[in-house]
Chain A
């Protein structure tokens, strides 16, 4: 069951660099799909297309469609604000907003119009629990978020996204700056989250890709080389380039 359908997506940035070339793939609902491959492959670009964050950068041209629940989100008439609440993103470096932990979570909710304190408190607790960080911060919700450790900050950023009750969660190398324990906690949270949400993850290491993937897509210089189930693609890839990368012959 496909949540997202990417049809022949190509994109070129203003500096001439072609970032995506004719990518077509489906993203399965309630599963973790991993986009892996060497740097410059187009993984981040694809993620940023999914929540229209590329609107903020100088894109020279693009073509193709991205269908989410049957609607093309690249259409200019799309309500981008609603899209971004439906498709949330966690970035590579934790970016705690300059406010308290609680305010970080309620920021987007207040923008969406939620004013009732009870609802906000409920959301804060629920999302921090789902992000597996509630126990560590429940006594200091009013402390500045910047006071937390890197791993905690990143989980708060995850909670921030969850609070909006999205349908899709995008993660761009979310654990690249974190220690193994924090990484483990984030991965465990994702494992639970996929029951409710569709998750797309660009991991920073191939080991993380193998650990987390239900489905995996290998990207090389903007092209989708191979797509398959997680348990098969890392042990018996079909394409030679995929195998070479997994075996570490380049990268």
Chain B
């Protein structure tokens, strides 16, 4: 009986180990396929053309700069909203709110994180954008700003939950030490607790920004889809187009294997690399901070 148990356990253990490594396999697969369909772009379109400012695929203009600036302006706008509101709400939940409020708020914020992006985009078209058009007296309500507003809302739950976990993990002793020295709770939060949770909060911000960069449906529905170079301040209140929206909007109409097809995959590859780099930076920051903390505490 023991023998067959051993054999069974051996197989199960092997299967579990293989599952563990599967994540690496998938990342590799994704990268490979993006590369496979995206690299031909470099053979078919000149670099100078790719870096131009006209995106008009029908006439073979594949300048990706407008798309990049579109993504940038919407993401930066979203970050400017999500970071303060996200950290502020996290601080509220973790440090200020009474227990009963915390029990209600945490699930509520998690609920927001679960709302499908298409639903938010839908409300964006029907409610937010007409309202903004009237309120800000714009020719159209479908602008980068609308996108930033909604993206901020989408990124906030991520920032809140990760930051709140980080703040919660700060040992009680830190706060009590500060209070014992005469600091007010407010001072303690900003001078002791938040700095102590610095790496976790930074991770939260990066994850939130990552969420914003990667959002597709909402931006596609509310940012107006005009591939215009967005570098002036006023661009914030006019239509733009993000990289993600471009892929989603045009992939359906593209001929398999055409240049347009390859360029869209190329843009996908760029997005993949951006998120890869952001994640590597974020995890090395956290890793180094953890090492430093271990050295200090040992």
Using CB atoms and an 8 Å cutoff, list the residues of chain A in contact with chain B.
79, 81, 113
Q: Number of residue pairs across A and B with beta carbons under 8 Å? A: 3
The interface size bin for chain B is under 10
User: Smallest Cβ distance from A26 to chain B, in angstroms?
Assistant: 31
Q: Give Cα A188–Cα B2 distance, bound, in whole angstroms.
A: 37
User: Closest residue to A81 on the B side, CB-wise?
Assistant: B2
B24 CB-CB contact with A under 8 Å:
no
Can you give 3 contacting A-B residue pairs, CB < 8 Å?
Answer: A79-B2, A81-B2, A113-B1
Q: Give Cα A158–Cα B2 distance, bound, in whole angstroms.
A: 26
Q: Give Cα A81–Cα B1 distance, bound, in whole angstroms.
A: 13
Q: Give Cα A236–Cα B1 distance, bound, in whole angstroms.
A: 53
Q: Which residues of B contact A81 (CB under 8 A)?
A: 2
- In chain B, residues 146-161, which have Cβ atoms closer than 8 Å to a Cβ of chain A? none
Q: Give Cα A81–Cα B3 distance, bound, in whole angstroms.
A: 12
Q: Which residues of A contact B1 (CB under 8 A)?
A: 113
The 3 A-B pairs with the shortest beta carbon distances in the complex, nearest first, are: A113-B1, A81-B2, A79-B2
User: Smallest Cβ distance from B295 to chain A, in angstroms?
Assistant: 15
Q: Which residues of B contact A79 (CB under 8 A)?
A: 2
Q: Give Cα A79–Cα B3 distance, bound, in whole angstroms.
A: 12
Q: Give Cα A113–Cα B1 distance, bound, in whole angstroms.
A: 9
User: Closest residue to B1 on the A side, CB-wise?
Assistant: A113
User: Smallest Cβ distance from A16 to chain B, in angstroms?
Assistant: 14
User: Smallest Cβ distance from B298 to chain A, in angstroms?
Assistant: 11
User: Smallest Cβ distance from A88 to chain B, in angstroms?
Assistant: 19
User: Smallest Cβ distance from A41 to chain B, in angstroms?
Assistant: 23
User: Smallest Cβ distance from B220 to chain A, in angstroms?
Assistant: 49
User: Closest residue to A113 on the B side, CB-wise?
Assistant: B1
Q: Give Cα A79–Cα B1 distance, bound, in whole angstroms.
A: 14
Q: Give Cα A79–Cα B6 distance, bound, in whole angstroms.
A: 12
- In chain B, residues 1-22, which have Cβ atoms closer than 8 Å to a Cβ of chain A? 1-2
User: Closest residue to A111 on the B side, CB-wise?
Assistant: B5
Q: Which residues of A contact B2 (CB under 8 A)?
A: 79, 81
Q: Give Cα A113–Cα B2 distance, bound, in whole angstroms.
A: 10
User: Smallest Cβ distance from A29 to chain B, in angstroms?
Assistant: 27
User: Smallest Cβ distance from A217 to chain B, in angstroms?
Assistant: 33
User: Closest residue to B2 on the A side, CB-wise?
Assistant: A81
User: Smallest Cβ distance from B294 to chain A, in angstroms?
Assistant: 13
Q: Give Cα A9–Cα B1 distance, bound, in whole angstroms.
A: 34
User: Closest residue to A79 on the B side, CB-wise?
Assistant: B2
Q: Give Cα A206–Cα B241 distance, bound, in whole angstroms.
A: 78
Q: Which residues of B contact A113 (CB under 8 A)?
A: 1
User: Closest residue to B6 on the A side, CB-wise?
Assistant: A81
Q: Give Cα A108–Cα B1 distance, bound, in whole angstroms.
A: 16
User: Smallest Cβ distance from A116 to chain B, in angstroms?
Assistant: 15
User: Smallest Cβ distance from B186 to chain A, in angstroms?
Assistant: 40
